[in-house]
Structures are given as C-alpha cells and as structure tokens.
Amino acid sequence: MKRLLKYLKDYKKESVLAPLFKLLEAFFELLVPLVMASIIDRGIDNKDTGYIVRMGLCLLALAIVGLCSSITAQFFAAKAAVGFSAKLRTALFGHIQDLNFTNIDKAGTSTMITRMTSDINQVQSGVNMVLRLFLRSPIIVFGAMIMAFTIDVQCALVFVVAIPLLAAVVFGIMMWTIPFYRKVQGKLDKVLGITRENLTGVRVIRAFHQEEREAEEFRENNKALASLQLFVGKISACMNPVTYVIVNGAVMVLIYMGGIKVDTGSLTKGEVIAILNYMSQILVELVKLANLIITITKALACADRVAAVFDIQNEEAGAGISSQDRHASAGEEDAFLSFEHVSLTYKGAGEKTLSNMHFSVNRGETVGIIGGTGSGKTSLVNLIPGFYPATEGVIRLEGRDLREYGQEELRNRIGVVPQKAVLFKGTVKSNLLWGKPDATEEEMWRALTIAQAKEIVEGKDGKLEAHIAQNGRNLSGGQRQRLTIARALVREPDILILDDSASALDYATDAKLRAALRTIEDTTTTFIVSQRASTIRHADKIIVLDDGEIAGMGTHEELLAGCEVYQEIYYSQYPSETKTAESIR
C-alpha cells in the first residue's frame, strides 16, 4: 500500500482536512454525555426549566456543528479517495500499455481487468474509510475512557479492561482474514476469466453445443468463490457479536458499580448516565472500527495485488548489448533490417519457438513468410516491433540494435496488421486516426484505396463518419481486414507487417491488394505472412519456416526448385502443377 500512496500526494490538503474535521466532530460528541449529566443533576433534580432549555439548545448546537463537521469531512475524504483511485487507475492502465507481450501473457488479461476495476475500487473504499474513521474511532474510544476517569476512577478501570479485550478481538480477526481476502480476489480473477472467455467465444460454444458444460464450469468456480467469501464473512461476522458481549458485560459491571456509588453518594445519577453513555459511544465506535478493519483488510489485500502489476517491468532497453555490439552497429549500414542469429523462447516455455534466424532485408523489399501451422511465422514478425524481446542474437534496424530504439520511436516507423482484425467502436475516421492522429482525409482515402476498402466506405452513410460497432461487428471479416490494412497504411510506415491479414479476402481482391501494395514498395519494406503461396510468390524474398527454423530462403522460383518444405506447401495448393513439375524432371 505504501508504494501506491504517492498517487495521493496531490490531495494532501484533503487528506489532512478530512480527519481533522472528523476529530472536531468527535470532540463535540464527547461533550454530549457531560451536558446530559448536567441536565439531569442540575436541571431535572432542581426542576430548573430554564437551565434544561439552555442545555437543550447547547445540545442542539453541538449536534449542528458536529453534523457540519461530518459533512465537510465526508466531502474531503470522498474527493481525496476518488481522485486517488482515478490517478492510480490511469497510472496502472499506462503501465499495462507499456508492457511487452511477454509480461502481458504472464499476468493474464482477466487478472489485469480485475485489478483495474474491482481491486482499485476496494482500495478507494479503504482510503475513504481511513480518512473518515481511522483517527475518529480511536479518539472516541480513548477520549471516552479519559472522560470517564474525570468522572470516577474506579468505574473508569472497567474501560481499561474492556478496551484491550476489544482491541485483541478486532485485530486478531483482521490478521486472520487478510490471507483469505487475497484468495477471494484470486478466485474472482478466475471467474472473470471464464466469463470473458465465454463472452468472446460464445459462437464457438453454441456451434459445438457446449453451453451446459461451460455453465457447469462457471457454476463450480462461482460456487468456490461464494464458499470462500462465506467462510471469510463468517469469521468477520464474529467481530460484532463478540464486541457486543464484551461491551455489554462492561455495561452490566458499570450499572452495578454505579448503583452502589449512587446509594453511597459518591456518584450522582447524571454521572452514572454519562459513564454509560461513554461506554455506549465506545460500543458504536468499535462496531464502526470493526467494519473499518474489514474494509482496510480487503483494501490492503487488493493494494498488494495492484502493486504487483507495477512490479512487472520490461527488460531495460539496450540490456545485454555489449560495447563491441554498439560499435559494430554504427558501421553496419548496408542492410535496412537484419536478423543476426536471433532466437526466441517464450517465458515459461521449455523449447525455443524460433531458432537461429539469420537474414537481412533491404529498404523497399517485399518479404514473404510462409510455413506450416505453428512454424513461428507470427512470432518472427512480432520481434520486429519489439512485442517480444529476442532471447538470443541481435535485430538491427538501419544498423542500430532494435533495443536501442525507444518504444514510441520504433512503433511510429512500423505499421502492423495483426492476424485478428480488431476495430474499435467509433467511426471509420476515428479508427484510421489510430494509424496517424493528424492524417488528412486525402491520406485516409489513399490508404483506403490501396487497401481495397474505398468501395466499402463509399457505400456507407456518412462515408468516413460511418459508424463502426465494437470489434467491427457490423462489418464482414473481409471488410474488417481491409480497414485494418488501411489503418496501417495511413501511417505511411517504413515497415509494413501484414500477418495473414488477407485470409478472409477472395482471390481477386487479394490480387488487387498485392498489386496496389507494390506501388508503395519503393519506400516501404513489407513483410507478408500468409498460408497462401499465391499471396507471397511475387515477393522479392520468401522465408520458409519449419518448426521454428529457416527451411529455405529465396525467390519463388529458387524455392520451388530446391526447398522441399516450400514444394510441399505450393503443390498442395496447386495440385495441377505437380504433374507438370514431374514431367520436367
């Protein structure tokens, strides 16, 4: 929690004023039993109506001032807590955005969502309650004890015994429940993960008629969460009855002692009532303190989980680059982009996903990447924007190690079209502006034309202002792919990565797209990942991957003549050419 308090520094004034006004309210509340005792002993016993009225007005004034103090404290506490949580959530979101894919995969999407929503809400409630009650409740408890000592020392000794017992109960239960609240949030992560998976995969679940199976899995995990919450709730629920037993036992002792002292004349009736009122105040405040402890317990557990996300850090840029490598990078300017014996092992994986990737690409070239499922095609192109750091070897862009580039500098030079076409809720224009925030309409239409998406946009009401639903659900798969390609093209990137981004296009549209892309190849280096041989056959260089290794590299004709893996892929898609090739041999 200490690491998160820095987000409260802009609310120092509110963090001080909120407890101060609560202390002011507590001070006025501690005066009430003394005024009541005075009314009984002087007003009622002496039948002094004027005195009773004056003291009654005094009570009313104390109530009004206490109410104003309480409202003011609530305002400052709420302002500080809400502002704190807003800054914390913004910082956490920014940190997650800066994480590379390795760390995001490690943490898990459902956990990130839970920690940004539920966990931060719990921390916000904890901060709010601490500012309001953490000082007020102890002040009332110990203040009531001190005020009791001013009335009668022997009766006040009951407070001395009761308060430590109550503290032992409250803090004992708190220490017992903290680990369980961490487990509750972990179970909540799992339930959220299942819910998210079901919502995103609802069509697949229905297609295979697995609704009941998924519902059963959800019920089991939800039941486990509910059982754990009930168990923790039962422990926490013990706090109120145990504190009531202790306090009411103390009240019984006080009534007994007070009655004896009233009979002997050492105490007045008003003073006994004042002592009982102080004990009642302690009871009320300890109930509040018990609830506060429960909230703080949850908040601390959640704060640790939020802080754990901040602890996840990317590898430092440039880490592992020797001075010799840096010197070499200054002189290697022949290739625009080069992979030098690069390997990739995902964190937690037993084997390398990519092994000994060694090749170079000149500016403006088109590079096709092809291979079987699981051969590492996507992993290879994900290394270029730095989504995953290379575990071995060096990737150089214009002679500089890729790790020397800042993330923003590198990503601004690269346009990526991922396998899954992702569009955001808004308009066609707002989605295209993701590629280049200051893009003109002319640049947008040019990108749409190259991506073969111009006719899609022109056919919609509003054209560039046409509505796009969340995830582009109001578009077909092919339309989504073309718009995501346009979004990457509007940036006019130095490197364009098309990761199997034309799989939903028909052959005619795919051919038009490839022809249009060749018009920008003088300035843009293009990587095309595809399962279709026809998509990459005209590339300047084709890299054939097999089980994470380069099985062949060259032009279409060179690979068709000498690479068995490429031959197998090509002839499986064009079986009619198999006989022709055999006759030539």
| Confidence at residue 174, expressed as pLDDT on a 0 to 100 scale | 74
Q: What is the pLDDT of residues 437-453, one digit of tens each?
A: 888 888 889 988 988 88
Lowest model confidence (mean pLDDT) among 21-35, 162-176, 522-536: 162-176
Residues 85 and 124: beta-carbon distance below 8 Å = yes
Q: Is 395 helix (H, G, I), strand (E, B) or coil?
A: strand
With a cut of 50, say whether residue 507 has pLDDT above it: yes
How are strands ordered across the β-sheet holding 366-371? 414-417, 495-499, 525-529, 366-371, 541-546, 549-554
C-alpha angle 171/176/180, rounded to 5°?
Answer: 135
Short-list 88, 97, 82, 81, CA closest to 307:
88
Residues 311 and 95: beta-carbon distance below 8 Å = no
| Confidence at residue 329, expressed as pLDDT on a 0 to 100 scale | 43
The structure tokens listed for 378 are 């996507």
Q: How far apart are CA 112 and CA 117, in angstroms?
A: 9
Strand partners, 339: 359, 395
| Confidence at residue 544, expressed as pLDDT on a 0 to 100 scale | 92
| Confidence at residue 1, expressed as pLDDT on a 0 to 100 scale | 64
Average of per-residue pLDDT across 153-159: 82
Angle between helices 269-311 and 120-129 (to 10 degrees): 150
| Confidence at residue 521, expressed as pLDDT on a 0 to 100 scale | 61
**CA quadruple 473, 476, 481, 483: dihedral positive or negative?**
negative
With a cut of 70, say whether residue 330 has pLDDT above it: no
Q: Which residues of 315-344 are buried (b: 16+ CB within 10 A; e: fewer)?
A: eebeeeeeeebeeebeeeeebbbbbbebbb
With a cut of 80, say whether residue 555 has pLDDT above it: yes
With a cut of 70, say whether residue 371 has pLDDT above it: yes
What is the dihedral angle through the alpha carbons of 322, 327, 329, 332, rounded to the nearest 10 degrees? -140
| Confidence at residue 79, expressed as pLDDT on a 0 to 100 scale | 92
3-state helix, strand, coil in the chain (%, to 5): 70, 10, 20
Phi, psi of 494 (to 5 degrees): -70, -35
Element spanning 496, H or E: strand 495-499
Distance linking the first and last C-alpha atoms of the chain: 73
| Confidence at residue 80, expressed as pLDDT on a 0 to 100 scale | 92
Short-list 83, 89, 66, 86, CA closest to 12:
83
Average of per-residue pLDDT across 8-18: 88
What is the dihedral angle through the alpha carbons of 368, 523, 361, 97, rounded to the nearest 10 degrees? -80
Mean pLDDT, all residues of the chain: 83
| Confidence at residue 542, expressed as pLDDT on a 0 to 100 scale | 92
| Confidence at residue 580, expressed as pLDDT on a 0 to 100 scale | 53
More confident residue, 576 or 201: 201
With a cut of 70, say whether residue 12 has pLDDT above it: yes
With a cut of 70, say whether residue 581 has pLDDT above it: no
User: What percentage of residues in the chain have a pLDDT greater than 70?
Assistant: 94
With a cut of 70, say whether residue 396 has pLDDT above it: yes
Q: How confident is the model at residue 64 (pLDDT cuts 50, 70, 90)?
A: very high
Average of per-residue pLDDT across 103-117: 77
| Confidence at residue 190, expressed as pLDDT on a 0 to 100 scale | 83
Strand partners, 397: 337, 400
177, with CB counted inside 10 A (0-12, 13-18, 19+), is buried
C-alpha 29: how far from chain center: 42
| Confidence at residue 68, expressed as pLDDT on a 0 to 100 scale | 92
Q: What is the pLDDT of residues 161-194, one digit of tens each?
A: 887 887 788 778 777 887 887 788 778 878 877 8
Short-list 571, 573, 572, CA closest to 585:
571
Q: How confident is the model at residue 455 (pLDDT cuts 50, 70, 90)?
A: confident
More confident residue, 330 or 426: 426
Q: What is the pLDDT of residues 284-322, one digit of tens each?
A: 777 777 777 778 877 888 888 888 888 887 765 444 444
More confident residue, 286 or 470: 470
Best-predicted range by mean pLDDT among 77-86, 263-272, 500-509? Answer: 77-86
Lowest model confidence (mean pLDDT) among 125-139, 390-404, 425-439, 500-514: 500-514
> What domains can be seen in the chain, in order of their start residue?
77-311 (1.20.1560.10)
| Confidence at residue 5, expressed as pLDDT on a 0 to 100 scale | 80
| Confidence at residue 328, expressed as pLDDT on a 0 to 100 scale | 44
Phi, psi of 332 (to 5 degrees): -90, 90
Phi, psi of 542 (to 5 degrees): -120, 130
C-alpha angle 280/286/289, rounded to 5°?
Answer: 150
| Confidence at residue 334, expressed as pLDDT on a 0 to 100 scale | 64
Average of per-residue pLDDT across 131-135: 82
